[in-house]
Structure 1
Amino acid sequence: MESYSSASSTNNNNVWLFYPNLIGYGRIVLAIMAMYYMSSSPVCAMFCYALSAGLDAFDGWAARTYNQSSRFGAMLDQLTDRCALLTIVMALCRLYPDHLFVLQLSAVIDIASHWLHLHATDLSGASSHKQSSNWLLNLYYTDRLFLGFMCGGNEAFYILLYIRAFWAGPLLFGAFHFMSIFPLIAFPIAFVKSAISVVHLYTAAEMVVAHDVKLRVDAAQKKQ
């Protein structure tokens, strides 16, 4: 049965209906539902958001299992990740106005780095955005355990911060609330994830600049 499924999917060129892309559409629906409930029903919002984020692991599995990797799927996955995270950061900006700048900065770094990285890999002719000569990014993309830990921990930080805004819990030692402990535990992971995004941004900028230089050199050689 497995070989038949693989062979069938290889001959299927309807990218719209690839299994990983169908999962991606489901993730989008769940993310929109999370957006709708974020201001009125935090339980529903976080259930939908967490489920959408969790399904991110399955679209990659489906792409590998059924040989249904596609550029459209990669872009759909990236856009869903970035936009979904942006929605919860926007909610956190409202819930934690004193930390507006830091939250805005985290969203800007996340979106800018992944956008530029995706375009840089296109310009370089790489077959996948998960290829990089940088050792840290290579580890990030090739070690699925490390990737899952970083992405899961990053999502957990924002989710726990959102939950803490509604259920702070009892005050401990007269200093901080019980639910503040959990986002604090996840914060180092989110911080390292942002640092990796900065590396993303820099290496992607290097790739784009190298592409520009190559075009200028080639153009100059043609004129000679």
Structure 2
Amino acid sequence: MDNVFLFVPNLIGYGRVLLALLSLYLMAERHVAAGVCYVISGLLDALDGHAARLLNQSSRFGAMLDQLTDRCATMCLLACLCAFYPHRMLWFQLSMAIDISCHWIHLHVTTLRGRGSHKSIGGEGSALLRLYYTSRPLLFCMCGGNELFYSMLYLLHFTEGPAVLGLGLVRVLAWLSAPVAVAKSAIALVQGYGAWAELGRLDIEERAAAKAL
């Protein structure tokens, strides 16, 4: 079957979008149901990639659907956190700006360079980014830890969760995952800096080529 719209990983991607939208609809008040929908949508992110490789159904359409679902879901969760924790609004806004801008410029440069995937890092790219995108365990832990942190902050608005050694489990998980969220933002900044630098080099190359004509 060559209909990319009906590829199994893309069907899973549509399901992720629906679950994310349902989570947003429930997010203001029904935290348990919203959290379940959000987590399942996130977990399906790993499943659609596995299905794409297993069934040889990787596609640019699916990759973009996956990227936009991730970015928009996290952004909407952060927007909710801005309302729940207005005194921390600046930090959530910065997190959104870093996430969106750095991924966008990276994808743009990837397209301009003619690379098949945003996970392909050029020879002048950061060794950190190459490790980040080639190590699936590292990528999973970083993305999962980042989502865990913001999800726990969301749940903490409603409940501390069951007590563990006198501390609420939700609060404990938020503290444990906080360094991962900070590290992921730092990696995004490295990614953004590298993309801007490469875009500048591309301008220089094109101007040099034009002068050589």
TM-score greater than 0.5 by the shorter chain: yes
1:126 aligns with 2:118: no
Partner residue of 1:64? 53
1:218 alignment partner in structure 2: 209
Q: Counterpart of 1:209?
A: 200
Aligned residue number for residue 172 of structure 2: 181
| 2:98 maps to which of 109, 134, 137 | 109
CA distance in 1 between partners of 2:21 and 2:150 (Å) = 17
Match of residue 149, structure 1, among 136, 141, 152:
141
In structure 1, distance between residues paired with 2:119 and 2:172: 34
Q: Could you tell me which amino acid in structure 2 is paired with residue 64 of structure 1? A: R
Of 148, 159, 167, the residue aligned with 1:167 is: 159
2:85 counterpart of 1:96: yes
TM-score by length of 2: 0.93
The Cα shift of 1:170 comes to 9.1
Deviation, 1:67, is: 1.0
Larger-gyration structure (1/2): 1
Q: Which residue of 2 aligns with 1:193?
A: 184
Q: Deviations over 1:70-102 (max 9, x none)?
A: 111111111000000011101100000110000
Equivalent position of 1:76 in the other structure: 65
The 2-side partners of 1:152 and 1:110 are apart by 15
Post-superposition offset of 1:180: 2.3
Task: Identify which of 20, 24, 34 aligns with 2:9.
Answer: 20
Gaps of 5+ in 2: none
Aligned residue-pair number: 210
Residue 219 of structure 1 deviates from its aligned partner by: 1.5
Give distance in 2, aligned partners of 1:83 and 1:30: 13
Gap change, CA 1:94 and 1:171, over 3 Å in 2: farther
User: 1:28, CA displacement in angstroms?
Assistant: 0.4
Structure 2 residue aligned with 1:5: none
Contact 1:124–1:207 under 8 Å retained in 2: no
Shift in Å at residue 43 of structure 1? 0.7
> For residues 149-208 of structure 1, what are the alpha-carbon distances to aligned partners after superposition, in whole Å with 9 as ceiling and x for unaligned?
101100100111100110036999xxx866422211110011101111001101111121
Q: Which runs of 4+ in 1 moved over 4 A?
A: 169-172
Structure 2 CA distance, aligned partners of 1:39 and 1:213? 49
C-alpha separation in 1, matches of 2:169 and 2:141 = 24
TM-score, with normalisation over the residues of structure 1? Answer: 0.88
1:62 partner amino acid: A
Tell whether 2:44 aligns with 1:55: yes
**CA-based RMSD:** 2.0
Counterpart code for 1:207 = E
Secondary structure (helix, strand or coil) at the match of 2:157 reads helix
